[in-house]
Amino acid sequence: MLGLGVVGSGVARILSEKAESYARELGCPLELSRVVVRDTGKDRAYAIEPARLTTDAASVLEDPEIELIVEVMGGEEPAHQYIRDALGAGKYVITANKEVMAKHGASLLTLAQERKLDVLYEASVGGGIPIIAPLKRDLLANEIVALSAVINGTTNYILTAMSRGEGDFDEALAKAQALGYAEADPANDIEGTDAAYKLAILASLAFHGEVRPDQVYCEGIGGLTNRDFRYARELGYAIKLVALARRDAEGGLRLRVHPAMLPEGEPLAKVDGVLNAVEVEGDLLGRTLFEGQGAGAMPTTSAVVADLLDAAHSVVSGGRERLIWRGEAALRIVSMDDLRTRYYLRMTVTDRPGVLAQIARVLGEAEISIATVLQKATDERVAELVIMTHEAQEASMQRALAELRPLPEIAEIGTFLRVEG
């Protein structure tokens, strides 16, 4: 195993605690031989014998006695190179690494297939939720039309805490870090990068072609304030970091990760705390929701160990012939400009006659129709204005925003959110 942090410690513990049950399942023991870490002297959530710890990755990757490599160290390099080296040495790989799978999944799976091996990566998306295996197998008869997901536990934990008034952004992030949900660099969670990696992985599988993370439009949750949650509740919405992929009528694929308002009755609006959910829309099955704990040691261990047992079965039975990568199609990714959705705008404006009319004129000229306006006077001269629009085109909305921002009557455009559902 490469890594003995939040996930690695969980995997090591469960392999020890359930050793007998797994041996019965496989018909032979499954033994954790060596673990590669950066610092062998560190205190760990699960202590293993010092003799099994090493900082020498090559000694593990080249050891002919080792048949399976579990990569739970994270980051792009050296994890990516270690996975290639493991496949090169004839070993199956199990990984929880979304960055590596999003950026290099197609080439790693191709290499694995050439070598009649496999890279299993259920834990890379949605923690413990089974979603990779269903997309690889159970949903294969469908043409997938859309994926709609909440797939970052850290941001969902923060947004849920803020919506319940259980602390501000920084407090909620500190708790998510203490619970082991956040990435080594939590900016990857907050800025939407982690969700974009996961959406790229799911979309590559669902739409049978390579989707790169840089093809996913991405915004994070950094600008949201407690006030946005109060307005959202007043209007009947929840705020979530959503990850959406949809094929349009011409076969183009739009991929986006951003915070959005969802009507309170929508299934994804009720996915709270560290829970994640992925809704898959197939032409035969319609909509199916996969929901569960999206981060944390034990949920992620559940997915890693299931993949490990699956790969171990292949080792025991002497091979793997199954097609593991169907990257046949060159996917056409469409831009955000033609997106049509509704919008929420919160701004601080000068409170005097004609200001609302001026804002309405800018929106009207961009063919954006206003659905609701809330105005709260914050003092005698300044008011907070919340506007919900009817469906409008993204490019028109961005043009209108560019025209509104410099107006002297607008002190600040605080939050701009898309309204889905």
Binding site for ligand HSE (CB under 6 A): 127, 152-154, 181-183, 189, 194, 294-295
Instruction: Rank residues 155 and 415 by Cβ distance to ligand HSE and give the closer one.
Output: 155
Instruction: Rank residues 59 and 369 by Cβ distance to ligand NAP and give the closer one.
Output: 59
Question: Least separation, in Å, of the C-beta of 272 and ligand HSE?
Answer: 14
Q: Which does 163 bind (CB under 5 to 8 A by kind): ligand HSE, ligand NAP, none?
A: none
**Phi–psi pair at 339, nearest 5 degrees:** -60, 135
* Bond prior to 130 in cis (omega within 30° of 0): no
Q: Which does 154 bind (CB under 5 to 8 A by kind): ligand HSE, ligand NAP, none?
A: ligand HSE
Question: Least separation, in Å, of the C-beta of 305 and ligand NAP?
Answer: 13
- What would you report as the CA-atom Rg of the chain, rounded to the nearest whole angstrom? 24
Question: Least separation, in Å, of the C-beta of 183 and ligand HSE?
Answer: 4
Q: Any idea which residue has 């003799």 for tokens?
A: 51
Element containing residue 157 per DSSP (H, E): helix 153-163
Q: CA-CA distances (angstroms) from residue 125 to 96, 102, 417?
A: 8, 10, 25
C-alpha dihedral (320, 132, 17, 61), degrees to nearest 10: 50
> d(Cα 392, Cα 289) in Å, to the nearest integer?
28
127 binds ligand NAP (CB under 6 A): yes
Q: DSSP label at 142? A: S
Q: DSSP label at 2? A: B
152 binds ligand NAP (CB under 6 A): no
Please tell me the count of residues contacting ligand NAP according to CB under 6 A.
Answer: 27
Binding to ligand NAP in span 284-313, by CB under 6 A: 295-296, 300
> d(Cα 68, Cα 308) in Å, to the nearest integer?
8
Instruction: Rank residues 37 and 363 by Cβ distance to ligand NAP and give the closer one.
Output: 37
Catalytic residue IDs: 198
Question: Least separation, in Å, of the C-beta of 215 and ligand HSE?
Answer: 20
Q: Which residue is nearest to ligand NAP (CB)?
A: 5
Q: Which does 184 bind (CB under 5 to 8 A by kind): ligand NAP, ligand HSE, none?
A: ligand NAP
78 binds ligand NAP (CB under 6 A): yes
Instruction: Rank residues 91 and 198 by Cβ distance to ligand HSE and give the closer one.
Output: 198
8 binds ligand NAP (CB under 6 A): yes
123 binds ligand NAP (CB under 6 A): yes
Instruction: Rank residues 174 and 336 by Cβ distance to ligand HSE and give the closer one.
Output: 174
Instruction: Rank residues 242 and 331 by Cβ distance to ligand HSE and give the closer one.
Output: 242
Instruction: Rank residues 157 and 237 by Cβ distance to ligand HSE and give the closer one.
Output: 157
Question: Least separation, in Å, of the C-beta of 298 and ligand HSE?
Answer: 13
5 binds ligand NAP (CB under 6 A): yes
Q: Which of 154, 262, 261, 144 is nearest to 211 (CA)?
A: 144
Contact status, residue 228 vs residue 221, Cβ threshold 8 Å: no
Task: Let me know how long the chain is.
Answer: 421
Tokens matching residue 199: 């959406």
Contact status, residue 356 vs residue 385, Cβ threshold 8 Å: yes
Q: Which does 152 bind (CB under 5 to 8 A by kind): ligand NAP, ligand HSE, none?
A: ligand HSE
Read out DSSP for 17-77?
HTHHHHHHHHTS------EE-S-TTS--SS---GGGEES-HHHHHT-TT--EEEE-S-SST
Q: CA-CA distances (angstroms) from residue 392 to 283, 341, 370, 372?
A: 27, 6, 10, 14
Question: Least separation, in Å, of the C-beta of 189 and ligand HSE?
Answer: 5
Q: Which amino acid is at 394?
A: E
Binding to ligand NAP in span 22-51, by CB under 6 A: 36-39, 42
Q: Which does 74 bind (CB under 5 to 8 A by kind): ligand HSE, ligand NAP, none?
A: ligand NAP
Q: CA-CA distances (angstroms) from residue 296 to 59, 227, 373?
A: 29, 29, 41
Contacts with ligand NAP by CB under 6 A lie at 3-8, 36-39, 42, 72-74, 78, 96-98, 123, 127, 180-181, 183-184, 295-296, 300
